[in-house]
Amino acid sequence: DADVTQTPRNRITKTGKRIMLECSQTKGHDRMYWYRQDPGLGLRLIYYSFDVKDINKGEISDGYSVSRQAQAKFSLSLESAIPNQTALYFCATSDLNSGTQETQYFGPGTRLLVL
Amino acid sequence: LAKTTQPISMDSYEGQEVNITCSHNNIATNDYITWYQQFPSQGPRFIIQGYKTKVTNEVASLFIPADRKSSTLSLPRVSLSDTAVYYCLVGGMNSGYSTLTFGKGTMLLVSP
């Protein structure tokens, strides 16, 4: 969905480096999410945020941190990258006020390789 | 959170109708059923959502029996471009926590 953008799209880094993945959205949604996807597995939730002052841990938050700088921006940081964090990372947004079950809109993904 | 079970993979041919069934035995009263589609190296994309009976849109139909313990995504006359992973999710609007959990999905392979 072009309304949800992620930068960078691809990143190669070395073990121990700190990196940041950024997500921006123009949908005006309150909720934002970070997922990772490994080959053969579904998406696993890392962190999520319901508004600017709200941060919640997901299923696999260890080794990650996030920052919700504004409604439109949600950044994911790897403080000290390790090889098993090599994965495809997705940002998503949703609108709590949609009136039905939330529908999540995903960005194009960031492919991260940690050497 | 309601857990879902769906086949790991399915095969079909172009022009056929494909039905993917998802089991969700412990679905809650307020839970909706949503299906997403994911192509390789892309984020999942919303396909269809329903609460009960039948829902149809331009892409698919969703059949939900009265007991709501399962649902079936129906893709009419599939084409090669329908080859993707399909996720069944169950959850509701809840301000306390994220209610959507993605499982491993069903890998649909459409052949000529």
pLDDT digits (tens, 9 = 90+) for A67-96: 998 999 999 999 999 999 999 999 999 876
Tell me the pairing of strands B32-38 and B84-91: antiparallel
B102 lies within 8 A of chain A by CB: yes
What residue ranges of chain A have pLDDT lower than 50?
A: none
Residue to test with chain A: of B93, B99, B104, most A Cβ within 10 A? B93
Q: Which pLDDT score, from 0 to 100, does residue B85 have? A: 95
Give the list of residues 6+ apart from residue A60 with CB closer than 8 angstroms, or none: A36, A44, A45, A46
Residue A107: the pLDDT is: 95
Interface contact A1-B44, CB threshold 8 A: no
What's the pLDDT at B95? 41
Prior bond of A8 cis (ω within 30°) = yes
- Give the closest of B45, B49, B95 to A101, CB-based: B49
Distance CA A4, CA A57 (A): 21
CA-to-CA dists, residue A100 to A75, B11, B26, B50, angstroms: 27, 32, 20, 9
For position B82, what pLDDT does the model report?
96
Q: What pLDDT, on a 0 to 100 scale, did the predictor assign at position A42?
A: 81
Ranges of H-type helices in chain B:
none
Per-residue model confidence (pLDDT) at position B96 = 42
Residue B39 with chain A: CB contacts under 8 Å: none
Tell me the C-alpha distance between B65 and B112, whole Å.
Answer: 32
Which tokens go with B47?
């396909």
Residue B34 to residue A48, Cβ atoms within 8 A: no
A105 contacts on B by Cβ (under 8 Å): 46
Which strand (E) or helix (H) includes residue A64?
Answer: strand A64-70
Residue B97, pLDDT score: 47
Q: Residue B43 and residue A90: Cβ atoms within 8 Å?
A: yes
Residues 20-59 of chain A whose Cβ lies under 8 A from any Cβ of chain B: 31, 33, 35, 40-45, 48, 50, 56, 58
Q: How many CB pairs under 8 A join A and B?
A: 64
Q: Using a CB–CB cutoff of 8 Å, tell me whether A100 touches chain B.
A: yes
What is the pLDDT tens value at each position of chain B, 112 positions in all?
568 899 999 999 999 999 999 999 988 888 888 999 999 888 999 999 999 989 999 999 999 999 999 999 999 999 999 999 999 988 765 544 455 677 789 999 999 9
B23 neighbors B5 (Cβ within 8 angstroms): yes
